[in-house]
C-alpha cells in the first residue's frame, strides 16, 4: 500500500518522525524528509520542483485523515499473510468451528457466529436462534455491504463535486483567496484517499469466499465507511449528503 509510506524514503508513515505532511504544492512527504530538504528556509519539492518559504516541517499541515486510516489498520491488526491463504479459492471448506472443529456450514444471526452441522443443534429456534447456510448468509452479507457501500460512494461523489466546484471558484480568486484554495485542494486529495480505500475494501469483500475472512473484511469496510462519513461531516458539515446516511 504505497499511499501509506513516504514517497522519498519509503518508510511507513507514523505519528512521530514520519508524520505525513502536505507540502504547499500539494504533494505529501514525511516530516523527516521535509526537514532534510529545507535549505535556508526554502523547501523545494523533489517532484514538481516548486519552491516555498518553509522554516520547519511544522509549517506544513499534517494529513490527519491518513493517520486515521493508519490507526484503523493498526487497531485491526489483520494478518495479511494468513488472510491470503484462507481467502484462496476453495479455502472455505478447510475452515472449522471453534467448538467441534468441524467444517463451517451455517451462520447464526442471533449469536453472530459461523457454526458447523453439530453446532446447529445448539442454535435451534427453541433457543431463539435464526440460522442459514454459510453460502446464503455470506451472499446476504456481501449484498448488504455492497448496496450500502454503493450508496455511500454515490453520496461521496456529490461531496467531491461540491468540493471541486468550490475549488474551481477559489482557484479563480487565487490571489485573494489563495490560502482557502490550498486547504480545499488538500481536503479533496484527502477525501480521494478515503474513497480509494473504501472501494478497495468493497472489491476485496466481493472476491472473498471465506466466511471468516469475509467477517473480518466487513469490519474493515465498516470502519472505512465510518472514516469517510466522518471526513465529509467534519469538513463539509450540513453541506454533506453523507451526513444524512
Burial readout 172-193 (b: 16 or more C-beta within 10 A, e: otherwise): eeeeeeeeebbbbbbbbbbbeb
- Do the beta carbons of residue 204 and residue 196 sit within 8 Å? no
**Is 49 or 166 the better-scoring residue by pLDDT?**
49
**pLDDT band with cut points at 50, 70 and 90 for residue 242:** low
Asked if residue 151 is part of any domain, the answer here is yes
83: Cα separation from own chain's centroid: 18
Tally of structural domains, the chain: 3
Domain identity same for 170 and 114: no
Domain identity same for 123 and 214: no
pLDDT at residue 218 greater than cutoff 60 = yes
116: helix, coil or strand? coil
Asked if residue 231 is part of any domain, the answer here is yes
Asked if residue 46 is part of any domain, the answer here is yes
Q: How far apart are CA 117 and CA 100, in angstroms?
A: 9
Domain identity same for 125 and 177: no
Residue 34 domain boundaries: 2-62
pLDDT at residue 182 greater than cutoff 90 = no
SS (HEC) of 138-151: HHHHHHHHHHHHHH
Q: What is the pTM of this model?
A: 0.44
Domain identity same for 40 and 104: no
pLDDT (0 to 100) of residue 39: 93
Q: What is the pLDDT of residues 98-107, one digit of tens each?
A: 778 888 999 9
Asked if residue 236 is part of any domain, the answer here is yes
Q: Which of 77, 105, 129 is the last residue of a domain?
A: 129
Amino acid at each position: 500500500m504505497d499511499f501509506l509510506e513516504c514517497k522519498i524514503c519509503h518508510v511507513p508513515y507514523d505519528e512521530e518522525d514520519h508524520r505525513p505532511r502536505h507540502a504547499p504544492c500539494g504533494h505529501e512527504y514525511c516530516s523527516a524528509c521535509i526537514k532534510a530538504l529545507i535549505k535556508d528556509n526554502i523547501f523545494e519539492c523533489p517532484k514538481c520542483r516548486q519552491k516555498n518559504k518553509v522554516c520547519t516541517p511544522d509549517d506544513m499541515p499534517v494529513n490527519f485523515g491518513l493517520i486515521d486510516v493508519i490507526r484503523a489498520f493498526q487497531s485491526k491488526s489483520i494478518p495479511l499473510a494468513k488472510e491470503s491463504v484462507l481467502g484462496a479459492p476453495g479455502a472455505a471448506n478447510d475452515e472449522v468451528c471453534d467448538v467441534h472443529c468441524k467444517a463451517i456450514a451455517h451462520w447464526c444471526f442471533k449469536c453472530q457466529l459461523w457454526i458447523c452441522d453439530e453446532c446447529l443443534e445448539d442454535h435451534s429456534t427453541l433457543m431463539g436462534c435464526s440460522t442459514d447456510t454459510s453460502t446464503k448468509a455470506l451472499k446476504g452479507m456481501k449484498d448488504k455491504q455492497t448496496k450500502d457501500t454503493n450508496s455511500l460512494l454515490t453520496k461521496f461523489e456529490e461531496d467531491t463535486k461540491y468540493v471541486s466546484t468550490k475549488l474551481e471558484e477559489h482557484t479563480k480568486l487565487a490571489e485573494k483567496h489563495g490560502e482557502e484554495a490550498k486547504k480545499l485542494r488538500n481536503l479533496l486529495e484527502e477525501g480521494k484517499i478515503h474513497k480509494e480505500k473504501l472501494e478497495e475494501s468493497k472489491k476485496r469483500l466481493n472476491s472473498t469466499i471465506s466466511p471468516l475472512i469475509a467477517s473480518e473484511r466487513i469490519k474493515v469496510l465498516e470502519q472505512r465507511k465510518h472514516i469517510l462519513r466522518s471526513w465529509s461531516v467534519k469538513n463539509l458539515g450540513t453541506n454533506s449528503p453523507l451526513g444524512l446516511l
